[in-house]
Amino acid sequence: MNIHISGTGSYIPKIVKKNNGFDKNKFFTMQGEPIETPIKTIIDKFKAITGISERRYAKVELSTSDLGFLASRKAITDAKIDPETIDYIICAHNFGDVKHKAIQSDILPCLAARIKHLLKIKNPGCVAYDILFGCPGWIEGIIQANGFIKAGLAKRCLVIGAETLSRVVDNFDRDSMIYSDGAGACVIELSKESNGIIAHETSSHTYDEVYHLFFGRSNNQLKDKDTRFIKMHGRKIYEFALNNVPSAIKKCIDKSGYHISDVKKILIHQANEKMDEAIIKRLYRLYKVPVPNGIMPMTINKLGNSSVATVPTLFDLLRNGKITDHKISKGDIIIFASVGAGMHINAVVYKY
């Protein structure tokens, strides 16, 4: 018996914000100094580095838990299961439900409980809880679900990654252009087939790296100093990721008994196009083989960085043939990998 993903779903918000939608923004440094570079130059450089040309924002009436519910409903339908048979609902997020133009996060009750409520699941034996693990949260939820099932504590789990980052960004910070909203979900359960989770790897680097991503005040120091927004030290994150993510993925592949040449697709967190490309190059360099064409499908160009939602959304789109020039077939070896706030890194080797 193996543990596999039997259904997937995603919710991609309807509001599209293109890069030129930031052409009236006034950006400041983290020290509060105005950035005098012409806005078009800033946007063009941003696109060249991140690969992002547009991103998606949720409608004002929708919360993070609403997005998670919409993705979950699709995953349950895809898996063709009775939702009352779900043993665990694990929801990965980082900021809870943040209402449009609100300054507080709402995680009481937890988002998993809200999603269970929206799914109208009556079974009290279906345990619903949240996981706060930065961008790698959905993958870590998969790893936890795998552990529950292996231990005989569950037969079927629903794992969700949902976020509305557009509501926690500082409009005076250039990094605000990176973030987006979205949700992805999957049903994971026992399988009689040979497909499923082969190996996984997780690490938490918290000694020097813990505050590479953090909650901080607006770059515009005329704004309320007690209102907090998502902030990051981009250069430090880039260097950390390049120095640590390739070796973590390699360790996971080595555990699996497969070789890098067996891998058909690498589904990596859609954080920054240049960074992801550099990570993959370094990974293949560890094996002393060239990077094959088409190994890394990307969605960041159109969807931006939706944190925990990026990998499950990418997987759902890939499974359903919605990513141009990319497909997966039964028996393919694929990798899920992510890096994010904490700083956490994780990876899963999966046989499709």
Q: What are phi and psi of 291, to 5 degrees?
A: -75, 120
Q: Are residues 187 and 299 in the same domain?
A: no
Q: Are residues 171 and 202 in the same domain?
A: no
Q: Are residues 33 and 110 in the same domain?
A: yes
Domain that holds residue 275: 198-351
Are residues 10 and 306 in contact, defined by beta-carbon separation less than 8 angstroms?
no
Order the strands of the 333-340 sheet from edge to edge: 196-204, 344-351, 333-340, 263-268
Q: Are residues 283 and 320 in the same domain?
A: yes
* Helix or strand (DSSP H, E) at 234: helix 234-256
Q: For each successive 10 residues of the chain (352 residues), what is the average pLDDT?
A: 94 96 92 92 93 96 98 98 98 94 88 98 98 97 97 96 96 95 97 90 96 93 88 94 97 96 97 94 96 95 97 97 94 97 97 96
Residue 225's pLDDT is 85
Q: What are phi and psi of 249, to 5 degrees?
A: -65, -40
For CA atoms 249, 252, 257, 263, give the dihedral sign: negative
Q: Are residues 209 and 315 in the same domain?
A: yes
Residue 226's pLDDT is 83
Domain end marker among 142, 175, 193? 193
Q: Are residues 114 and 40 in the same domain?
A: yes
Radius of gyration of the chain (CA): 20
Residue 235's pLDDT is 92
Q: Are residues 203 and 158 in the same domain?
A: no
Domain end marker among 140, 161, 193? 193
Q: Are residues 175 and 32 in the same domain?
A: yes
Q: What pairs with residue 313 in β-bridges?
A: none
Residue 103's pLDDT is 79
Domain end marker among 125, 160, 193? 193
Query: Tokens representing 306?
Result: 């939706």
pLDDT tens sequence across 199-244: 999 999 999 999 999 999 999 998 888 888 999 999 999 999 999 9
Q: What is the pTM of this model?
A: 0.95
- Domain containing residue 90: CATH number: 3.40.47.10
State the total domains in the chain: 2
Q: Are residues 341 and 219 in the same domain?
A: yes
Task: State the burial class of residue 152 (Cβ atoms within 10 Å of its Cβ: 0-12, 13-18, 19+).
Answer: exposed
Q: Are residues 180 and 251 in the same domain?
A: no
Q: Are residues 309 and 179 in the same domain?
A: no
Q: Are residues 230 and 128 in the same domain?
A: no
Q: Who's near 21: CB < 8 A, 6+ residues apart?
A: none
Output DSSP code: residue 34.
Answer: B
pLDDT tens sequence across 44-89: 999 999 999 999 999 999 999 999 999 999 999 999 999 999 999 9
